[in-house]
């Protein structure tokens, strides 16, 4: 059986759902279909569910990019999806409590938010099918064909003029059409996700940078406001499986930080932190969200960046602007800067001893750099700080 559509979006996460709604609400001329392999709309959630408040990033990023961020936030984040308001970021490095810094963010009900966007898309005329997995996509004539399996055991082909990979990393669209060569192992994070109780303030997000627990990444405690927290550990892929498995890092964190799991299972997912891939599409096939590498490399935030890439592609499909040009003008400068910051910080993120030594050299310098990188700062001052930090880290590494 062959089903025809004008646009096929593979993946109904923040990127795919946002794009489906954008297209139908903005008068796209043609059929829009979205498929997702999950049986239930956006469950289970593997995420910290933290989103920035409207003003948090305003002083730190460019105006044009901020405007896109604001639009995506305003179009998706309604009051009913806010579970908790967070005021502070507490930074813990190795075992040292470095203190707290202003951090206006929201803990959200991500599944609820996405369900709402998908309902809007359906009401606008999009055809949405959950429980349908794309198995292979190929170019056919001047369009594309994807072989799909549905949850009932059926198999059919979807033929489309425009194909969107919104299916996170690695994307079946990217793999099938050979758009990019993907990420290197050191540019991927294996992240765990769970809920737990623990004695932590309800208005503070806690970030733990400790290479003994989370080599190449960090661990987090994001309060939901009722004594339960979203917690997780991000470990760099090239070390995550070395001799153990990432769940051991999670258990180490839970035990050391006095957390008591409220659910049986710990979920895991791969997250790209190597910045944007070198290409965003080929012909009429495009990549958005995690599939194109839109996660902010310094902090792992990917919900809003995914929607921002969907927004830029939506504009291009409706108004004829060039997606690659918009991405390169608006988003790439920030992403390239954040990859650079992450790479500069890597030697510290990988070694507890080097981290300890760096703290002894200057605690406030380190705390300031980490804070500004977490806020995705594009300020010249932050760049200079990181370049000096780079020299310092090289010096420290030669001493360690």
Please say which residue, 72 or 377, places its beta carbon nearer to ligand FAD.
72
36 binds ligand FAD (CB under 6 A): yes
Stretch that binds ligand FAD, among 90-98, 121-129, 201-209, 295-303 (CB under 6 A): 295-303
Q: Is 50 in the site for ligand FAD (CB under 6 A)?
A: yes
User: Does 49 help bind ligand FAD (rule: CB under 6 A)?
Assistant: yes
Does residue 170 have a cis peptide bond before it, meaning omega lies within 30 degrees of 0? yes
Q: Using CA atoms, how far apart are residues 194 and 45, in angstroms rounded to an integer?
A: 9
* Token output for 204: 């503070």
CB of 387 to ligand FAD, least distance (A): 27
Return d(Cα 220, Cα 300) in angstroms, integer: 11
Judged by beta carbon, residue 232 or residue 297, the one nearer ligand FAD is 232
In the block, tokens 């080599």 appear at: 215
Cα 243 to Cα 247: distance, rounded to the nearest angstrom:
12
Residue in the structure block whose two tokens are 């700080």: 385
Measured from the CB of residue 30, what is the shortest distance to ligand FAD in angstroms? 21
Residues 114-173 contacting ligand FAD, CB under 6 A: 133-134, 166-168, 172
**Whole-number Å distance between alpha carbons of 203 and 197:** 15
Lookup result for tokens 């105006």: 63
Min CB(110)–ligand FAD separation in Å: 7
In this complex, which beta carbon is closest to ligand FAD, that of residue 13 or of residue 211?
A: 13
Q: Does 48 bind ligand FAD (CB under 6 A)?
A: yes
Q: Is 34 in the site for ligand FAD (CB under 6 A)?
A: no
Burial of 166 by CB count in 10 Å (0-12 exposed, 13-18 middle, 19+ buried)?
Answer: buried
| CB nearer to ligand FAD: pick between 114 and 348 | 114
Quick note: the x/- pattern for ligand FAD over 312-351, rule CB under 6 A, is ----------------------------------------
**Residues 212/50, Cβ–Cβ less than 8 Å:** no
CA separation for the pair 398, 400 (Å, rounded): 6
Out of 7, 8, 9, 13, which residue is the one contacting ligand FAD (CB under 6 A)?
13
Whole-angstrom Cα distance, residue 266 to residue 252? 13
How many residues bind ligand FAD (CB under 6 A)? The answer is 38
| Residue selected from 87, 129, 256, 269 as contacting ligand FAD according to rule CB under 6 A | 269
Q: Which DSSP string corresponds to 246-267?
A: HHHHHHHHHHHTT-EESSS--E
Whole-number minimum distance, CB 354 to ligand FAD, in Å? Answer: 26
Q: Comparing C-alpha atoms, which of 158, 179, 157 is closest to residue 169?
A: 179
Closer of 16 and 215 to ligand FAD (Cβ): 16
| Per-residue CA distances from 360 to 78, 357, 364 (Å) | 44, 5, 10
Residue number, nearest CB to ligand FAD: 302
CB distance 117 to 17 below 8 Å:
yes
Binding region for ligand FAD (CB under 6 A) out of 31-39, 56-64, 88-96, 323-331: 31-39
Give me the residues that bind ligand FAD (CB under 6 A), please: 10-16, 35-38, 46-51, 133-134, 166-168, 172, 191, 193, 232, 269, 271, 289-291, 295, 300-304, 306
């Amino acid at each position: 059986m062959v089903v025809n559509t004008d646009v096929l979006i593979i993946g109904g996460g923040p990127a795919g759902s946002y794009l489906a709604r954008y297209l139908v609400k903005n008068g796209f001329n043609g059929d829009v279909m979205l498929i997702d392999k999950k049986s239930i709309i956006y469950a289970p959630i593997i995420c910290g569910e933290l989103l920035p408040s409207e003003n948090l990033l305003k002083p730190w990023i460019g105006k044009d990019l901020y405007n896109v961020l604001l639009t995506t936030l305003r179009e998706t984040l309604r009051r009913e999806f806010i579970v908790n308001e967070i005021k502070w970021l507490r930074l813990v490095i190795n075992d040292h409590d470095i203190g707290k810094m202003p951090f206006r963010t929201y803990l959200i009900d991500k599944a609820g938010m996405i369900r709402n966007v998908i309902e809007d898309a359906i009401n606008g005329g999009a055809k949405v099918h959950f429980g349908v997995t794309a198995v292979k996509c190929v170019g056919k004539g001047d369009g594309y064909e994807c072989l799909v399996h549905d949850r009932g055991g059926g198999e059919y082909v979807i033929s489309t003029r425009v194909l969107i990979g919104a299916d996170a990393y690695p994307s079946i669209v990217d793999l099938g059409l050979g758009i990019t060569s993907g990420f290197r192992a050191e540019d991927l994070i294996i992240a765990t996700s769970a809920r737990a109780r623990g004695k932590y303030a309800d208005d503070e997000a806690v970030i733990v940078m400790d290479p003994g627990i989370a080599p190449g990444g960090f661990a987090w405690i994001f309060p939901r406001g009722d004594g339960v927290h979203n917690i997780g550990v991000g470990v760099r892929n090239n070390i995550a499986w070395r001799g153990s498995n990432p769940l051991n890092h999670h258990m180490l964190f839970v035990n050391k930080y006095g957390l008591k799991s409220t659910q049986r299972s710990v979920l895991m997912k791969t997250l790209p932190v190597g910045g944007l891939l070198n290409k965003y599409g080929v012909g009429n096939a495009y990549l958005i969200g995690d599939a194109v590498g839109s996660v902010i490399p310094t902090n792992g935030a990917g919900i809003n960046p995914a929607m921002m890439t969907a927004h830029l592609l939506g504009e291009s499909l409706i108004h004829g602007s060039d997606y690659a040009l918009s991405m390169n003008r608006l988003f790439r400068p920030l992403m390239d800067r954040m990859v650079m910051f992450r790479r500069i910080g890597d030697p510290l993120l990988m070694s507890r001893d080097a981290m300890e030594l760096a703290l002894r050299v200057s605690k406030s310098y380190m705390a300031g750099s980490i804070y500004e990188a977490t806020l995705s700062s594009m300020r010249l001052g932050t760049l200079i700080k990181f370049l000096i930090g780079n020299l310092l880290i090289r010096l420290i590494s030669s001493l360690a």
